Structure 1
Amino acid sequence: MHIQTLDHWQHSHDFSVNQNQAEKNTKIVMLITAATMIAEIVAGTILGSMALLADGWHMATHLAAFGITVFAYRYARQHANDDRYTFGTGKVSVLGGFASAVALAVIAFVMAFESVGRFFQPQAIQFNEAIGVAILGLIVNLVSAWLLQGEHGHSYDHHHGTHGHSHHADHNLRAAYVHVLADALTSVLAIIALFAGKFLGWIWLDAAMGLVGAGVITKWAYHLVSDTGSILLDGGIDQHIKLDILHIIEDDADNCVVDLHVWRVSQQHLSATVSLVTHYPQAPEYYKNLLSHIPSLSHVLIEVNPCHGEPCLDIDHRHNPVSVPLG
């Protein structure tokens, strides 16, 4: 039985990042969106304005997306030390971003469907009222974008071993930000189309701008789904970080890395398992110290296999490290 404390070999698996300010700003944006939505729906009902009603219910879809963002932050914080999650809740925000991206893609599809329909069945437009609604929506979204755009994350610079800045490293916040940008883009395109329809009689431009907006939003949603989906499936790790780990281990003594896996346990934290063969085995802590300058590498497991008899080093492997399994 061990008579010494095990604290030296144990550490927390809470890899979540403090996002209190991002959560606070998202809640403010959520309240602004909710107030605007209620005002537009009430005014549209009283005044009989379809433009106000349509924009009000459109705001409801973004309100739901902001709700996902806030829920993800709260759930990750409340369950950070829950033993049911092997590496904590660091990926909950990524999952929230993925869900919001899917919702954004659905919104783009609905926009495209309605726009195509308007090509074949043009609807009468109350230009002055519709322009006012679009301008109001643009103002609300610009304020919301200002509240959400100030949060930045960090990424590892493999050339200098330092942190660099990466905008919207928080995928949960990035999803909320993209929803705001999508709504702002829709408002801008609507304003252009409405002015063209009012003064030039180009009614068809309203539907055309809807298709343009749907296409741009689909592209944003695709990139967001791709980024978050890759992290959720333990992919998307910078190959340079993997090669850095490989070279650092193999440049020490005659070590030969035979298996290496690197994956994300949160948006800004990496975990790695390294299996190596060597004639001069050291304690696992020795190899962890070799990798300690990589700031994003937060959880490392080392397997050391002593090499007996003939040299284990594969010269071709040392000159072609990419051949090592880099999972």
Structure 2
Amino acid sequence: MHHTHRTRPWHDHDFDPGNPSGERGTRRVVLLAAAMMVAELVAGSLTNSMALLADGLHMGTHVAALGIAAFAYRYARRHAADPRFAFGTWKVGVLAGFASAIILGLVALFMVYESVVRLLNPVPIRYGDAILVAAVGLAVNLLSAWLLHGHDGHVHSHGHDHGRGHDLNLRAAYLHVLADALTSVFAIVALLGGRFFGWDVLDPVMGIVGAVVITTWAWGLLGRTGRVLLDREMDAAVVAEIREVLDDGDAVVVDLHVWRVGPDKFACIVALVAADPLPPDEYRRRLQVHEEIVHVTVEVHPCTGEHPHTEEQAIAH
């Protein structure tokens, strides 16, 4: 009789501890933003206020982006043990952050378009309604920022800051809230200037200024999430630490690949050439001093010739 059994991995491959507080905060902000959007759309329809309707539609884009963040948390949590994900579901949140950065950029582009149109074709501004909308929007976004602040789940290993370890999904949601709050502040300043000093041009100008700031935030978020998604981590501090531990005079690192698999957690594949090779487990043991390195694959090659430590000989073996 033949017996079959299911092989188990040596250890869990889910390296994301999750961020329950960040997930709860994001869900609350989604509900708050959705309620604000509905209230503005209903009030705008009842009062024929274009300012209210426009802000309600603008709020809709942030509801969509925040909804992506909330969905990413839920999906990552529910599929954390899915074996189809080789290194867990942490990058689901990073992908959501990348998508949110694109939405932020589109919002900024729309703000520039609207501002240029109003510069070229000024329209009468209902200052009372517009100031009220901006003030309420600012209050809602400050409350949302408070709900999200301090829940990024950032951790450090051995006192080192390896960078980019924050919850990038929550960071994206936070930037959307800040972008809306910034827009409201600029709008209030511009509307007060227009109402009391007749500076009507200040409204579209502030729109362009706000768009530039938001574009800067979006570009930074795109860079941070894009680096993780493309595994561009070979400039991380942990790479030098791996070489320092393994390049001990006898063994030489001839090939090294490092990538992020969780917040401040890294995996690596390393190939070594050594005159007197040790078992691979010994090199793994040496790397345990850096707890941020959570998944290690080691190849060890014996060297030959008078000057053995060359990459060509490692590849030949």
TM (norm. structure 2) is 0.91
Q: Single out whichever of 139-148 and 259-268 deviates more from structure 2.
A: 259-268
Q: Which residue of the partner structure matches residue 122 of structure 1?
A: 122
Residues 38-68 of structure 1, C-alpha deviation per residue, up to 9 Å, x if partnerless? 1111111111111111111111100000110
* Deviation string, structure 1 residues 288-308 (Cα, Å, up to 9, x no partner): 111112222111101111224
* Residue of structure 2 in register with 1:66 after alignment: 66
In the TM superposition, what is the alpha-carbon distance from 1:165 to its structure 2 partner?
9.4
**Residue in structure 2 matched with residue 273 of structure 1 by the alignment:** 269
Q: 1:282 aligns with which of 278, 281, 286?
A: 278
Q: CA deviation at 1:128?
A: 1.4
The structure 1 residue matched to 2:189, chosen from 186, 192, 199, is 192
- Aligned-partner Cα distance in 2 for 1:104–1:260: 36
Distance 1:261 1:167, change over 3 A: closer
The reply to whether residue 52 of structure 1 matches residue 52 of structure 2 is yes
**Aligned match for 2:201, one of 191, 201, 204:** 204
* Deviation of the 1:146 alpha carbon: 0.8
Q: Is the 8 A contact 1:94 1:231 kept in 2?
A: yes
Aligned to 1:219: 216
User: Could you tell me how far 1:83 is from its partner in structure 2?
Assistant: 2.2
Q: Which residue of 1 aligns with 2:82?
A: 82
- 2: CA distance between counterparts of 1:89 and 1:205? 46
CA distance in 2 between counterparts of 1:280 and 1:218 reads 55
The answer to whether the 8 Å contact 1:154/1:164 transfers is no
Q: Distance in 2 between matches of 1:223 and 1:134?
A: 26
User: Structure 1 residues 234-243 or 134-143, which shifts more?
Assistant: 234-243
CA shift for structure 1 position 268: 2.7
Q: How many residues align?
A: 308
Counterpart CA distance in 1 for 2:90 and 2:235 is 19
Cα deviation digits, residues 76-116 of structure 1 (max 9, x gap): 11111222222221211100000000011010000000000
Q: Which residue of the partner structure matches residue 3 of structure 2?
A: none
Aligned partner of 2:87: which letter? F
SS in 2 for 1:276: strand
| Separation of aligned partners in 1, 2:273 and 2:7 | 27
CA drift of 1:310 comes to 3.4
Question: Partners in 2 of 1:164 and 1:247 — Cα distance?
Answer: 17
Gaps of 5+ in 1: 318-323
> Which residue of structure 1 aligns with residue 260 of structure 2?
264
Matched residues in 2 for 1:46 and 1:244: separation?
63
Q: What SS does the corresponding residue of 1:293 show, helix, strand or coil? A: coil
| Contact map agreement 2:154 2:167 (CA 8 A) in 1 | no
Q: 1:149 to 1:167 in 2, by over 3 A?
A: farther
Query: Which stretch of structure 1 is more off in the superposition, 282-291 or 33-42?
Result: 282-291
Match of 1:103 in 2: 103
Q: 1:113 to 1:47 in 2, by over 3 A?
A: same
Structure 2, unaligned runs of 5 or more: 1-5
One-letter code of the match for 1:102? I
Instruction: Please tell me whether residue 254 in structure 1 is matched to residue 250 in structure 2.
Output: yes
C-alpha distance in 1 between matches for 2:199 and 2:17: 50
SS of residue matched to 1:152: coil
Match of 2:298 in 1: 302
User: Which residue in the other structure is 1:24 paired with?
Assistant: 24
Please, which moves more after superposition, 127-136 or 186-195?
127-136
Q: TM-score, normalised by structure 1?
A: 0.88
Q: Distance in 1 between matches of 2:305 and 2:59?
A: 71
List structure 1 segments (4+ residues) > 3 angstroms apart after TM superposition: 152-157, 163-168, 236-239, 308-311
* Residues 104, 147 of structure 1: alpha-carbon distance in 2 compared, 3 angstrom cutoff: same
How far, CA to CA, are the matches of 2:30 and 2:162 in structure 1? Answer: 27
Q: What one-letter code is carried by the residue in structure 2 that aligns with 1:286?
A: E
Give 1:244 deviation, angstroms. Answer: 1.2
DSSP 3-state at the match of 1:134: helix
Residues 1:13 and 2:9 are matched in the alignment:
no
CA distance in 2, matches of 1:144, 1:193: 23
Give, in whole Å, the separation in 2 of the partners of 1:168 and 1:232: 13
Aligned pair in 2 of structure 1 residues 227, 300: CA closer, same or farther (>3 Å)? same
Distance 1:275 1:213 in 2: 49
